Amino acid sequence: MSKKRAKNKPGNSVGKQRQSLYAEAYTRIKEAIKQGFFLEAITIEESIITDRLEARVAWLSNQQHRNFDNLGPLAQTLKGKGKNKKIRESDPEMLDLLLPKIDKWRKQRNEALHELVKFPDDVEEKCWEDFYSKTKNVAKEGKTLSRKVSDCVKRLNKKKP
């Protein structure tokens, strides 16, 4: 039994579904941080930030369907340095304030998610507890940043082109 998916077009229930998903995501982020599951929180935060940047790129390029991309390439696109150099963010809040914060957080996220057990040559000792405790800060910063990005994109995408 196969069900056809409704196209993500304005007028169907996509907006309500997205709102519900976001509410659940933020609830889970809060709970994950409270329980010490910082990597889970970081992963959800990345999903939110990426989704919002995809929405912004789609709005700037007048696309109805979004192309899924990673966080780094999306930020580069908005800086006018991506694959499609015709797309460039002009809003000062997004361009000058949020994109640098996103890039800084992205690097911290990479370290938290991808380097937990890597042992650099220039480090004599690496303690799991010390390293893992740093992920708490990344999770907390990501929670704040994801809200700021979401609010900014919501405000910007309501403006007429």
Q: How does pLDDT run across 102-143, given as a tens digit for each residue?
A: 999 999 999 888 877 776 667 677 677 777 888 999 999 999
Our count of domains for the chain comes to 1
Q: Return contacts of 58-63, CB within 8 angstroms, 24+ apart.
A: 59/156, 59/157, 59/161, 60/87, 60/88, 60/89, 61/86, 61/87, 62/161
Residue 6, domain member (yes or no): no
Q: What is the pLDDT of residue 6?
A: 41
Task: Find the domain containing 48 and state its range.
Answer: 14-158
Residue 5, domain member (yes or no): no
Residue 83, domain member (yes or no): yes
Q: How does pLDDT run across 28-78, given as a tens digit for each residue?
A: 999 999 999 999 999 999 999 999 999 999 898 887 666 778 898 888 888
Residue 4, domain member (yes or no): no
**Between residues 117 and 149, the one the model is more confident about:** 149
Residue 3, domain member (yes or no): no
